[in-house]
Amino acid sequence: MAQYKYKLGFIGAGNMARAISSGLITQGLMNESDIIMGDVNKDITVGNIAVTDDMNIIFNECEYIILSIKPQVFASVSASLATVKAKAVISIMAGINSYAIKAALPINVAAIRVMPNTPCAVGKGMVVIADNDAGDEINAFVKSIFDTTGETLFLPETAFDAVTSVSGSGPAYVYYFIRSMIKGGMDGGLSEEASKALTLATFVGAAEMVKASSDTLDILIDRVCSKGGTTIQAVNCYDESNLDGIIREGIKRCFNRSAELSGISR
């Protein structure tokens, strides 16, 4: 049985790698000494986590490896992955499917594709793990890693373009609507600080209501709207402008672009 110096190694020490490692340490799943990061810039600091520009250390001395590089960098790294001695390589790269990763690895090394989103940085992420044949032990460990950053869900990899269009890219849609609500409050005379506080609290509260309620979203909307009241004026405006269709069209375009980057035509 292989002996590993590190439990987890990262190839790439960017924001998502930092968010994941922070969650692992904060929640006590690992110590800093259990983790190493490989990056072309060996002089960066990530707390007391070891950082190296020698990827052979990552390939040879880590039980698990997370590929946290941009997809366009994968081609330059893939040839070296044939020497990996880890139990599994976990990819958080967009657009690179698990088959392409598996093809670069030794036959006994599992390849697992994962789609996180940026709220992982504050422990409120949504992480989707692709169904795979790596076995219960490896999958339980992978899930435990990402449980420290938010919620986790297993789905078929064929769903990943849809996942990208909803949760992967979705935070930007929410930020967009938040920005517009803040501006709307300011148009009504609120300070930016007050409008931001009201908007953020409203988003958090509404999301918690949806999670806690067994009612449909249509019912929840109707409960805020009184006939002839104030809320219905805004909702009618959104309906007249086909905001629902605009949002869904944006998600569709994101989906199509994800499929294009994955080499799939729709």
* DSSP track, 155-208: E-GGGHHHHIIIIISHHHHHHHHHHHHHHHHHHTT--HHHHHHHHHHHHHHHHH
Residue 263 has pLDDT above 80, yes or no: no
Express each pLDDT in 108-140 by its tens digit: 999 999 999 999 989 999 999 999 999 999 999
Q: Which of 67, 26, 18 is nearest to 45 (CA)?
A: 18
Mean pLDDT, all residues of the chain: 94
pLDDT of residue 265 exceeding 80, the answer is no
Consecutive H or E run containing 99: helix 98-104
Q: At what angle do helices 192-212 and 217-224 cross, to 10 degrees?
A: 130
Is residue 241 predicted with pLDDT exceeding 70? yes
Confidence of residue 266 (pLDDT cuts 50, 70, 90): very low
For residue 182, how many other CB atoms are within 10 A of its CB?
20
The string of pLDDT tens digits covering residues 62-81 is 999 999 998 888 988 898 99
Which residues on adjacent β-strands are paired with residue 89? 65, 111
Summarize the confidence of residues 5-29 as an average pLDDT. Answer: 94
215 against 266, higher pLDDT: 215
**What pTM value is reported for the model?**
0.91
For residue range 158-194, what is the model confidence (pLDDT) as tens digits? 999 999 999 999 999 999 999 999 999 999 999 999 9
In one letter, which amino acid is 165?
A: S
